[in-house]
């Protein structure tokens, strides 16, 4: 049972460490605001007894000497004046408390959501900056789940409940103190009674909340995964007529998730009703006891009213404390997972050891071997190759022979299991300097990554955020044989390509990819079956344009078609993990 409390405290400490200096200051300001708010509440409860006493009887004992001298100072001596002043004072104290509570609610909410925005942004940045080798083992639905649901878990399941819990504790203690002054015995008995109910509820529900927390963290990822799979494979789903199967899988997971969420929410709300019933019973008991022992209504009514007002203020706070605690319990697994992502090493630490990499002569690959995991066979074994700057190199091999893996290694996306890749025989490429090396490279894969934006923005992606160079854009559009197609569109290169380029044919997407590589102005262009979707004539035109580009640009090309590689200076084949030159294909 202590484990989940430990998890909460560990998560809170971890969360605090993620706060920026400004956020820490804001948090401390919030605590001060809570204290102010609590004082204003005391003022309300403290003034209700004298107020009602004065209304009932202006000469009442409840009007202490301080109040009497205050009234004297403002020359309120007759009964009417005293009543008016007391009413105004009481109304002002109620108003002040309401103002403080509104400000506190505003500050708490904005603080929590701003923090959520901070964390979401930092988690996404941390994930984007992870080495490629980690990305290939991570599911994208898990990442989306972390940035949306798990960050929401931090906002709704930790920050907001924690702040509500703190403010409820402060206010509760102050109100409790004020009620003790009004009637210590009744206050203590009823307070202990309420707390016992909430403690029993906490003990009874703790395990369920823990289970729900685990369940929600797991199922929210599965819901996203099922949606992504459904949307990603919509063409096949329609053709196979498997809509019902996918909808049923999704609805089962979704129902499980929502049931767990409902259970957590219900647990957080449930104790309210028995506690409220008990409060009314206590009030009846108090009224009865006081009226049996003391028949003076002038003193009895203000006391009862103060107790009723205190209970009306205190009970929601106790309920808030409990529901905040149960929200905290219910979200801890998601929160722990989100915080784990914040602990990932950041780009800054990766870039610390970077120097400038220049590429003037060659890429030298020596005794290169690679396997994806320790328990998997070597995909590449003892590869030696020199790629001279400005050469056109073709790469062939049967499917699954390791061509894309080899390109990923050259691009510094993967690190060799053994052996080295040197630039100009000097700079060894590794994860800490790969970012510098990648600035030299433009990569055109078979499946082009496209944003749901205009053709121009998709081509000039390396310039995002700054102005597009339209002269260069027009040149690369022509080189990639896209001119006729773009001119046929009403909005020309401002035409939106749709999600993942859905409004384009495979060949058009590939040509946008090639245009993007040319626009980047890289000195190493890597084409991984980048022309496979083009008809022979368009492919020939694109390859001829590639041949014409600067002699300083090195082109590394993978293709299954001999025709595509005709213009290469060297062609190599990967077979059984080894590389050998092919003179004729």
Ligand X SMILES: Nc1ncnc2c1ncn2[C@@H]1O[C@H](COP(=O)(O)OP(=O)(O)OP(=O)(O)O)[C@@H](O)[C@H]1O
Q: Name the minimum Å distance from CB 509 to ligand X.
A: 17
**Nearest Cα to 525, choosing from 559, 566, 565, 555?**
555
Q: Name the minimum Å distance from CB 536 to ligand X.
A: 20
Question: What is the contact mask toward ligand X in residues 444 to 463, using x (rule: CB under 6 A)?
Answer: --------------------
Distance between terminal CA atoms of the chain? Answer: 69
List of residues 6+ apart from 179 with CB closer than 8 A: 45, 187, 191, 306, 307, 310, 314
The β-bridge partners of 370 are: 380
Nearer to ligand X, 130 or 261 (CB): 130
User: Is 176 near ligand X (CB under 6 A)?
Assistant: no
- Angle in degrees, 0-180, between the axes of helices 79-128 and 297-342, rounded to the nearest 10: 10
Q: Name the minimum Å distance from CB 391 to ligand X.
A: 21
In whole angstroms, what is the distance from residue 177 CA to residue 166 CA? 17
Residue 90 three-state SS: helix
Strand arrangement, sheet containing 427-428: 380-388, 362-370, 418-423, 427-428
- List binders of ligand X among 135-174 (CB under 6 A): 136
Question: What is the contact mask toward ligand X in residues 343 to 372, using x (rule: CB under 6 A)?
Answer: -----------------------------x
Nearer to ligand X, 310 or 402 (CB): 402
Task: List C-alpha distances in Å: 174 to 5, 83, 89.
Answer: 26, 27, 20
Nearer to ligand X, 320 or 405 (CB): 405
Q: Residue 101 corresponds to which tokens in the numbers above?
A: 């509570």
Q: Name the minimum Å distance from CB 363 to ligand X.
A: 18
Q: Name the minimum Å distance from CB 133 to ligand X.
A: 8
Size of the residue set binding ligand X (CB under 6 A) = 11
Nearer to ligand X, 391 or 446 (CB): 446
| Secondary structure letter of residue 346 according to DSSP | P
Q: Name the minimum Å distance from CB 411 to ligand X.
A: 13
Q: Name the minimum Å distance from CB 381 to ligand X.
A: 12
Nearer to ligand X, 363 or 379 (CB): 379
List of residues 6+ apart from 486 with CB closer than 8 A: 455, 477, 492, 493, 495
Q: Name the minimum Å distance from CB 580 to ligand X.
A: 15
Q: Name the minimum Å distance from CB 119 to ligand X.
A: 29
List of residues 6+ apart from 507 with CB closer than 8 A: 533, 534, 535, 538
Q: Name the minimum Å distance from CB 418 to ligand X.
A: 17
Place of tokens 């307070």: 191
Nearer to ligand X, 352 or 399 (CB): 399
Q: Residue 138 corresponds to which tokens in the numbers above?
A: 């991570």
Query: What's the length of the chain?
Result: 585
Q: Residue 386 corresponds to which tokens in the numbers above?
A: 């020199």
Q: Residue 549 corresponds to which tokens in the numbers above?
A: 């580009």
- List binders of ligand X among 379-418 (CB under 6 A): 379, 397, 399-405
Nearer to ligand X, 512 or 558 (CB): 558
Degrees, nearest 5: CA angle 402-525-560: 40
Residue 413 three-state SS: coil
* Binding interface with ligand X (CB under 6 A): 136, 372, 379, 397, 399-405
């Amino acid at each position: 049972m202590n484990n989940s409390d430990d998890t909460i405290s560990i998560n809170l400490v971890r969360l605090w460490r993620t706060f920026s200096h400004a956020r820490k200051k804001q948090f401390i300001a919030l605590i001060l605001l809570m204290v102010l708010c609590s004082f204003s509440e005391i003022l309300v409860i403290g003034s209700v007894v004298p107020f009602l006493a004065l209304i009932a009887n202006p000469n009442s004992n409840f009007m202490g000497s301080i109040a009497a001298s205050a009234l004297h100072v403002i020359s309120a001596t007759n009964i009417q004046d005293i009543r008016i002043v007391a009413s105004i004072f009481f109304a002002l104290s109620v108003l002040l408390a309401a103002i403080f509570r509104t400000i506190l609610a505003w500050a708490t909410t904005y603080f929590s959501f701003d923090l959520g925005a901070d964390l979401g942004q930092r988690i996404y940045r941390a994930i984007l900056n992870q080495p490629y080798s980690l990305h290939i083992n991570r599911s994208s639905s898990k990442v989306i789940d972390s940035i949306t649901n798990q960050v929401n878990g931090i906002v709704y399941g930790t920050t907001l409940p924690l702040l509500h819990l703190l403010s409820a504790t402060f206010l509760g203690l102050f109100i409790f103190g004020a009620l003790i002054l009004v009637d210590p015995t009744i206050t203590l008995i009823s307070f202990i009674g309420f707390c016992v109910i909430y403690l029993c509820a906490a003990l009874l529900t703790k395990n369920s909340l823990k289970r729900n927390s685990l369940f929600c963290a797991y199922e929210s990822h599965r819901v996203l995964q099922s949606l992504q799979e459904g949307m990603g494979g919509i063409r096949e789903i329609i053709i196979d007529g498997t809509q019902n199967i996918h909808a049923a899988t999704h609805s089962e997971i979704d129902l499980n998730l929502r049931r767990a969420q409902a259970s957590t929410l219900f647990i957080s709300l449930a104790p309210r009703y028995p506690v409220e019933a008990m409060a009314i019973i206590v009030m009846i008991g108090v009224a009865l006891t006081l009226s049996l022992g003391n028949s003076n209504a002038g003193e009895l009514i203000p006391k009862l009213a103060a107790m009723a007002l205190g209970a009306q203020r205190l009970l929601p706070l106790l309920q808030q404390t409990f529901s905040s605690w149960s929200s905290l319990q219910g979200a801890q697994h998601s929160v722990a997972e989100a915080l784990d992502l914040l602990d990932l090493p950041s780009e800054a630490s990766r870039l610390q050891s970077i120097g400038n990499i220049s590429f003037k002569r060659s890429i030298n690959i020596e005794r290169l071997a690679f396997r994806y995991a320790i328990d998997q066979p070597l995909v590449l074994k003892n590869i030696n190759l020199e790629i001279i700057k400005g050469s056109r190199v073709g790469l062939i091999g049967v499917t699954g022979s390791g061509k894309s893996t080899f390109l990923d290694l050259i691009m510094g996306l993967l690190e060799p299991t053994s052996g080295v890749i040197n630039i100009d025989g000097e700079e060894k490429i590794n994860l800490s300097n790969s970012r510098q090396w990648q600035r030299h490279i433009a990569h055109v894969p078979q499946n082009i990554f496209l944003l749901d934006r205009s053709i121009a923005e998709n081509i000039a992606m390396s310039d995002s955020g700054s102005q597009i160079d339209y002269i260069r854009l027009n040149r690369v559009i022509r080189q990639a044989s896209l001119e006729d197609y773009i001119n046929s569109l009403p909005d020309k290169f401002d035409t939106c390509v749709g999600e993942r380029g859905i409004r384009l044919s495979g060949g058009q997407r590939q040509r946008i990819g090639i245009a993007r590589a040319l626009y980047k102005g890289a000195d190493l262009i890597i084409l991984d079956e980048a022309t496979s979707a083009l008809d022979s004539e368009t492919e020939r035109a694109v390859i001829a344009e590639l041949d014409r580009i600067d002699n300083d640009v090195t082109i590394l090309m993978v293709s299954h078609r001999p025709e595509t590689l005709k213009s290469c200076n060297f062609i190599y084949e990967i077979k059984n993990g080894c590389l050998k030159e092919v003179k004729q294909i």
